[in-house]
């Protein structure tokens, strides 16, 4: 997963890499749905965290 230049301060590439790194064990084992669910759940958690902190980080 690659973040666009403008979102890098909000969605750090390192955090996204950690989320994606959790999926391969499931994907290589043929558990494609589980691998996708792990990645989507991780992204959802990250976005919730970012959305809660965003007003404070941009001065709202």
9/29 Cα distance (integer angstroms): 34
Of the two residues 59 and 35, the one the predictor is more confident about is 35
3/41 Cα distance (integer angstroms): 18
pLDDT at 12 (0 to 100): 84
30/13 Cα distance (integer angstroms): 26
pLDDT band with cut points at 50, 70 and 90 for residue 59: low
Write down the domain spans for the chain. Answer: 23-60
4/36 Cα distance (integer angstroms): 22
Instruction: Summarize pLDDT for 6-31 with one digit per residue, the tens.
Output: 787 788 888 999 999 999 999 999 99
The number of C-alpha atoms within 13 Å of 29 and in the hemisphere containing its C-beta is 10
pLDDT at 13 (0 to 100): 87
pLDDT at 33 (0 to 100): 97
């Amino acid at each position: 997963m690659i973040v666009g230049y403008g979102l890098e301060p909000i969605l750090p590439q390192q955090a996204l890499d950690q989320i994606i790194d959790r999926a391969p064990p499931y994907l290589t084992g043929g558990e494609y749905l589980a691998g996708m669910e792990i990645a989507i759940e991780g992204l959802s958690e990250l976005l919730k965290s970012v959305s809660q902190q965003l007003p404070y980080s941009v001065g709202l």
